[in-house]
Amino acid sequence: MVFSLNRKSKWLITMILIITAPFIVFITPEIITFFLFHHEDSIALISYGKNFLMYGLSFLIIFIVIFTLYLIKRLILKVFIILIGLLLFFYINFIGIHYYAYLDENYIEYSPLLGESVHYDWNSIVKVFHELPTEQLQEKYIFELKNGQHLEILITDTLSQKVRNKIVEKMMTLEASYEEY
């Protein structure tokens, strides 16, 4: 027996996706945070706004695939478009998931939007600059490392004051100089 959807069912599924996709885009970082980075040594996971752009783009691709499937009649072409759409959906979500800064009791992990994740030990930090937020600039920490590299971590507005205090407490335990401006 072949399962077939009529036109009303297809539009109903499309409308459900259109309505639920924005909610899924906004809860995806929280779900990923909980499953990948939630343990007792965790200080903070900072995910940036471009993640939402990537998640939104991946759902836009799904909507385009659904609309294209509606227009195309050939089965082999439909299967090909579904496969390409799913690959793009998962690839773009994968890129979005891997743009974060993670602060742990033992290390800092920074993963740029396009690039490899890098681990820095807290002991390798020699100086910390804390740029306070202004009307033009966002709050950020700049870590100067023993090897001369600098690591900038933007602090997003979504972090609670409790988490911000944990970050400052951790920095005060370092043997690094701390400057605030």
Which pLDDT score, from 0 to 100, does residue 166 have?
A: 78
SS3 label, residue 111: strand
Domain annotation covers residue 144: yes
The CA distance from 105 to 138, in Å, is 24
Q: Are residue 91 and residue 124 in the same domain, yes or no?
A: no
Q: Are residue 14 and residue 92 in the same domain, yes or no?
A: yes
**Chain centroid to CA 110: how far?**
12
Yes or no: say if 48 and 156 are a contact pair by the CB < 8 Å rule. Answer: yes
- When comparing pLDDT for 4 and 110, which is higher? 110
Which pLDDT score, from 0 to 100, does residue 158 have?
A: 66
Yes or no: say if 72 and 78 are a contact pair by the CB < 8 Å rule. Answer: yes
Total domains present in the chain = 2
Q: Residue 33 corresponds to which tokens in the numbers above?
A: 């945070």
CB atoms within 10 A of CB 159: 15
Output the pTM of the full model.
0.62
Domain annotation covers residue 32: yes
Q: Are residue 23 and residue 93 in the same domain, yes or no?
A: yes
Domain annotation covers residue 113: no
Domain that holds residue 139: 120-180
Q: Are residue 89 and residue 23 in the same domain, yes or no?
A: yes
- DSSP designation for 73: -
Q: Are residue 61 and residue 126 in the same domain, yes or no?
A: no
Q: Give the pLDDT band (50/70/90) at residue 42.
A: confident
Domain annotation covers residue 115: no
Q: Are residue 17 and residue 83 in the same domain, yes or no?
A: yes
Q: Residue 64 corresponds to which tokens in the numbers above?
A: 């385009």
The CA distance from 39 to 32, in Å, is 13
Domain CATH code at residue 173 = 2.40.50.40
Q: Residue 14 corresponds to which tokens in the numbers above?
A: 């499309």
Domain annotation covers residue 108: no
Q: Are residue 147 and residue 66 in the same domain, yes or no?
A: no
Q: Are residue 70 and residue 133 in the same domain, yes or no?
A: no
Domain annotation covers residue 106: no
Cβ neighbours of residue 174 under 8 Å, at least 6 residues apart? 122, 123, 125, 128
The CA distance from 118 to 100, in Å, is 11
Is the pLDDT at 142 greater than 60, yes or no? yes
Q: Are residue 81 and residue 12 in the same domain, yes or no?
A: yes
Yes or no: say if 141 and 79 are a contact pair by the CB < 8 Å rule. Answer: no
Q: Are residue 129 and residue 58 in the same domain, yes or no?
A: no
The CA distance from 171 to 146, in Å, is 16
**Chain centroid to CA 180: how far?**
27
Domain annotation covers residue 66: yes
Domain annotation covers residue 112: no
Q: Residue range 10-38: average pLDDT?
A: 73
Q: Are residue 128 and residue 79 in the same domain, yes or no?
A: no
Which pLDDT score, from 0 to 100, does residue 1 have?
A: 44
